Amino acid sequence: MTERMRLAVVGAGPAGLAGALAAAARGVDVTLIDAAGQAGGQFYRQPAPALNARRPEALHHQWRTWQRLSDGLARHLAAGRITHLTEHHVWCVRRESDAFRVHALLGPAQEEGVTVRADAVLLATGGYERVLPFPGWTLPGVVTAGGAQAMLKGGLVLPGRRIVVAGTGPLLLPVAAGLATAGAEVAALVESAGPAALLRRTPELAAQPGKLAEGAWYAGQLVRHRVRTLARHTVVEAHGTDRLTAVTVAALDRAGRIRPGSARRIPCDTLAVGHGMLPHTDLAETLGCTLNGTDVDVDAEQRTDVPGVWAAGETTGIGGAALALAEGHIAGRSAAARLHGTVPDPRTWAAADRARTRLRAFFAALDTVYAPPAGWAERIPDDTVVCRCEEVTAGEVRTAGPLGAADLRTAKLLTRAGMGWCQGRMCAPAVAGLTGCPLTPGRRPFARPVPLGVLANVPDDETPTR
Amino acid sequence: MNPLELARARPGETCTVTLDGRSVEALPGQTVAAALWAAGVTAWRSTRGAGRPRGVFCGIGVCFDCLVTVNGRANQRACLVPVHPGDVIRTQEGTGRVDD
Ligand SMILES: Cc1cc2nc3c(=O)[nH]c(=O)nc-3n(C[C@H](O)[C@H](O)[C@H](O)COP(=O)(O)OP(=O)(O)OC[C@H]3O[C@@H](n4cnc5c(N)ncnc54)[C@H](O)[C@@H]3O)c2cc1C
Ligand code: FES
């Protein structure tokens, strides 16, 4: 009897789920591995089961799609075609000859190691939010926009009562709408992009009526909850001593400079802020996959340039849940065909391919609209903390350039910015902006902090766990 | 309206945990961070350098701002760790290690 081929899928968000379902349906033995306790990823994050939410869809958009995915997952789990390892934090994926070892840490404690062996790997690790620094951004009460959304969807809590949502990007709309629907008073939605920029991009945007309708739906929710939107405005400062009490926002002119005299103070206890997203690429990097800027580079089949490694969703470039689904589907079909030793026929995934092309164009256009306002880096005062972990200020980071730092690694060695717990995930965009170094991923040896005991116990030739 | 009502949540019995000795009501299933937010607490750590207060920032386990000591174990990410009845939660100062 021939053994079934094994695919390890890291990440159970839209991309990983679509990939796992597509591969499992085509005779591949799939292990779906995710750090979270439940499938869904960021977009379809579910309330903790013990909260017994009977109407979780109240916090979600496109619930039908989620139902399709979760029903599919349940069927494959029951049939034994997919094994779902929850609360497994993958810290490293190693390739050896033609097999892979996926190393994970178990549960919240993350002190015990587990290894999964597979013939191929699909990386669907998603992304995280980028926040550019401003005075007061380290105050308790200032959270990432997606983080506020994640805590709401997963824990059914609000960070405070009166919330300002600010920054730039398409994520701010669902976040403001979600918080308002859940009972928060959203004092303002502050978006640095202006409507004129959106209008200039009309052809690319109009090619996605579904996405536009989604935006309009959220906008309607904001009107219903009387949320005031301040377009072409930015947060200048967050105020408070031990926690947030107010923010100052100001209007931007067409060149992205602050309009003198336009500053106004908005009292609030929470600021949910974000300036777009960055992909998680650590696992791809340690495997040696080529990156294109900050994104994992993939071909038309979602293959990286490392044989046996596919990537899909935000890890290959930020583009939302629908694009993640299309990419994951293609990756799963391609991996199944390749694992069976056949060449896949792209015509069999023509619909997903068309969606992928359209959505990539749509998000490329959005990216130019939702760019951080010009001059954001120069506006960071010298005494503002930029590296939150090591408490390195903008003034200190600014010394790195003159000292000869031409890349983020050197800037880190010279200033300690990026050396702390988060390994530069939070400060890298700001350090790049302040020093003029290109924004490149951090080359972290591990995707998670690994206890020494686990490292010491990774034998060269361990027994497979499954 | 609050999030629990919106999602028509019927959580089981609330449980009690302590934060620096003070009793805090928590809902099983919530993370430590969510339980503290629900109790109106937004900071539970002070930084190593300037001793500044911090709590949740990214909410998804990436930033490490929300570190906390749970049942004697320091440096747990409050946004990832679920609460259990009787948990002893301590605000964390600096590296969270007594020997530092
Ligand atoms: C905090 C946050 C909130 C968001 N909220 C919304 C929203 O409300 N609406 C919206 O339209 N878009 C939202 N987004 C954007 C969202 O990321 C995408 O639209 C979509 O979820 C991308 O799908 P994905 O499958 O590529 O990645 P994700 O959905 O991010 O899924 C990635 C999965 O990989 C897992 N993972 C990552 N690294 C590891 C590892 N090393 N080991 C184990 N598991 C790992 C994660 O736990 C996660 O479940 C949010 C993004 C973030 C960061
Ligand atoms: S809030 Fe960022 S790790 Fe918990």
Residue A96 burial class via C-beta count within 10 angstroms: exposed 0-12, middle 13-18, buried 19 and up: exposed
Residues of B in contact with A391 (CB under 8 A): 47-50, 52
Q: Give me ligand 2 centre to Cα A422, in Å.
A: 9
Instruction: Give the 3-state secondary structure percentages of chain B, helix then strand then coil, rounded to 5.
Output: 10, 30, 60
What is the rounded distance in angstroms from the CA atom of residue A259 to the CA atom of residue A261?
Answer: 6
Q: How many CB atoms lie within 10 A of CB B32?
A: 29
The confidence band for A218, taking pLDDT boundaries of 50, 70 and 90, is confident
Q: List residues near ligand 2 (CB under 6 A).
A: B 56-59, 61-66, 77, 79
Q: What is the pLDDT at residue B91? A: 95
Task: Give the residue carrying structure tokens 């961070």.
Answer: B33
For residue A143, the ligand closest to its alpha carbon is 2
Inter-chain CB proximity A156 and B4 less than 8 Å: yes
CA A376/CA A369 separation, integer angstroms: 15
Instruction: Give residue A459's pLDDT band: very low, low, confident or very high (50, 70, 90).
Output: low
> Which residues of A, range 371-430, sit inside 8 Å of B by Cβ?
388-391, 420-422, 425-426
Residue A33 in tokens: 């591995």
Residues of B in contact with A109 (CB under 8 A): 73, 76
Residue A1, pLDDT score: 43
pLDDT digits (tens, 9 = 90+) for B28-53: 999 999 999 999 999 999 999 999 99
DSSP letter for each residue of A253-308: -TTSPBPTT--EEEE-SEEEEEE-EEE--HHHHHHT--EETTEE---TTSB-SSTT
Q: Which helix (H) or strand (E) holds A214?
A: helix A209-224
Atom 52 of ligand 1: nearest residue by CA position = A146
Question: Is any Cβ of chain B less than 8 angstroms from the Cβ of A56?
Answer: yes
Tell me how far apart the alpha carbons of residues A280 and A97 are, in angstroms, rounded to a whole number.
Answer: 25
Residue from B58, B75, B77, B95 to probe the interface with A (highest A Cβ count within 10 Å): B58
Q: Which residues of A touch B7 (CB under 8 A)?
A: 47, 51, 53-56, 58-59, 156
The pLDDT score that the predictor gives to residue A198 is 65
Characterise A385 by phi-psi region: left (phi > 0), alpha (psi -120 to 50), beta (else): beta
Closest residue in A to B69 (Cα) is: A109
The encoded tokens of residue A72 equal: 């599919």
How high is the pLDDT of residue A257?
92
Q: What is the pLDDT of residues B81-92, one digit of tens each?
A: 999 999 999 999
Residue pointed to by tokens 């959106």 = A198
d(CA A342, CA A351): 21
Q: Which residues of B touch A422 (CB under 8 A)?
A: 62-64
| Predicted confidence (pLDDT) at residue A159 exceeds the cutoff of 60 | yes
Q: Which two tokens stand for residue A132?
A: 């550019």
What is the rounded average pLDDT of the residues A316-338? Answer: 97
Q: What is the pTM of this model?
A: 0.94
- Is B9 within 8 Å of A47 (Cβ atoms)? yes
Total number of residues shown for chain B: 100
Residue with tokens 């709401």: A152
Pick the residue of A44, A46, A51, A275 with the most B CBs within 10 A to test the interface with B by mutation. A51
Q: Which chain A residues have a beta carbon less than 8 Å from that of B80?
A: 35, 108
Most B CBs within 10 A among A129, A143, A392, hence the mutation to make, goes to A143
Q: Report the Cα A141 to chain-centroid distance in Å.
A: 21
Q: Which of B5, B33, B63 sits opposite A151 (nearest CB)?
A: B33
Is the pLDDT at A144 greater than 90? The verdict is: yes
Element (H, E) at A66: helix A63-78
- Report pLDDT for B100: 40
Tell me the mean pLDDT in the region B60-79: 95
Answer whether A241 touches B (CB < 8 Å). no
* Cross-strand bridge partners of residue B77: B67
| CB pair distance less than 8 Å for B59 and A128 | no
Average pLDDT, chain A: 92
